[in-house]
């Protein structure tokens, strides 16, 4: 694994999240908060989970021992959610862009939200952060279709590479 690979993944993550934000900007507040069957109870809750996870990883990457879990505290408007998502994804990309490639295989010690101590190599954590967002963006697509929104654009990694 090279730093260049993770820079591409972080850029892809930002690209795909910006596309998702574009979908959500078109969504009414009613549909934003409407109960939809999925891992989380609404589109809003799903988006907040993605933001919370990216933000938590950024805090851990900056060696913050106890992370602030936004899902428990943030109650902004839809526009505030989307602005925060863009900001967090940009910060993740900037962190990876500046990361010392020689440390990719070194472990990062961190605590999960339940306080359990873990340690994993940086490269695995970078891959996880991007994969986690991809997983939940897929859920957003299904949730958006359930509320009747169908003006969706593909966010597959292959499409990102083809459009670069």
Confidence of residue 126 (pLDDT cuts 50, 70, 90): very high
Percent above pLDDT 90 for the chain: 98
Q: pLDDT (tens digit, 9 = 90+) per residue, 136-146?
A: 999 999 999 99
pTM higher than 0.75: yes
Segment 11-39 mean pLDDT: 97
Percent above pLDDT 70 for the chain: 100
CATH (residue range 3-163)? 1.20.120.450
pLDDT score recorded for residue 47: 98
pLDDT score recorded for residue 1: 83
Q: What is the mean pLDDT of the chain?
A: 97
Task: Please report, for the chain, the start and end positions of each structural domain, with discontinuous segments joined by +.
Answer: 3-163
Q: pLDDT (tens digit, 9 = 90+) per residue, 71-113?
A: 999 999 999 999 999 999 999 999 999 999 999 999 999 999 9
pLDDT score recorded for residue 48: 98
Q: What is the 3-state secondary structure (H, E, C) of the chain?
A: CCHHHHHHHHHHHHHHHHHHHHHHHCCCHHHHHCCCCCCCCCHHHHHHHHHHHHHHHHHHHCCCCCCCCHHHCCCCCHHHHHHHHHHHHHHHHHHHHHCCHHHCCCEEEEECCCCCEEEEEHHHHHHHHHHHHHHHHHHHHHHHHHCCCCCCCCCCHHHHHHHC
Confidence of residue 11 (pLDDT cuts 50, 70, 90): very high
Segment 41-50 mean pLDDT: 98
pLDDT score recorded for residue 87: 98
């Amino acid at each position: 694994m090279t730093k260049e690979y993770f820079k591409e993944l972080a850029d892809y993550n930002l690209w795909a999240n910006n596309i998702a934000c574009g979908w959500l900007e078109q969504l009414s507040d009613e549909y934003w908060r409407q109960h939809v069957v999925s891992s989380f109870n609404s589109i809003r809750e799903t988006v907040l989970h993605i933001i919370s996870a990216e933000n938590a990883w950024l805090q851990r990457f900056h060696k913050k021992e106890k992370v602030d879990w936004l899902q428990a505290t943030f109650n902004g408007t839809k526009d505030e959610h989307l602005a925060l998502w863009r900001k967090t994804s940009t910060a993740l990309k900037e962190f990876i862009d500046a990361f010392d490639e020689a440390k990719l295989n070194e472990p990062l010690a961190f605590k999960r939200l339940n306080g359990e101590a873990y340690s994993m190599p940086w490269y695995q954590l970078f891959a996880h952060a991007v994969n986690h967002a991809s997983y939940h963006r897929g859920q957003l697509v299904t949730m958006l279709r359930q509320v009747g929104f169908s003006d969706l654009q593909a966010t597959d990694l292959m499409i990102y590479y083809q459009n670069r």
